[in-house]
């Protein structure tokens, strides 16, 4: 089973990488971009066959390692 975790900075947390991308897009002529939020996507190959257990395990991975839950939120998708 595969899992995809999307990690993003929480709303209200300053995103300097996103702001740098927005500025660079403006410099390239894309003036309609008003905001950019940068995140990361992590794909996992899991040996698990039980979907509920896999989701529980991946959420635990996020809480312990994959996301800094103080400033980041995450979304888990089982594929």
Check residue 75 and give its pLDDT.
98
d(CA 27, CA 56): 43
Residue 13 pLDDT class (50, 70, 90 cuts) = very high
pLDDT bin (cut points 50, 70, 90) of residue 52 is very high
pLDDT of residue 3: 98
pLDDT of 34 reads 95
**Residue 59 is inside which H or E element, if any?**
helix 51-61
Q: What integer pLDDT is reported at residue 78 of this predicted model? A: 97
Say if CB 51 and CB 57 are below 8 A apart: no
Could you give all domains of the chain from N- to C-terminal order, each with its CATH number?
2-78 (3.30.1280.10)
């Amino acid at each position: 089973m595969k899992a995809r975790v999307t990690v993003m900075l929480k709303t209200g947390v300053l995103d300097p990488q996103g702001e740098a991308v927005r500025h660079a897009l403006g410099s390239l002529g894309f003036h309609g971009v008003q905001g950019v939020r940068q995140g990361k996507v992590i794909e996992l190959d899991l040996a698990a066959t039980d979907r509920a257990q896999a989701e529980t395990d991946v959420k635990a991975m996020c809480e312990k390692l994959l996301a800094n839950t103080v400033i980041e939120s995450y979304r888990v998708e089982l594929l």
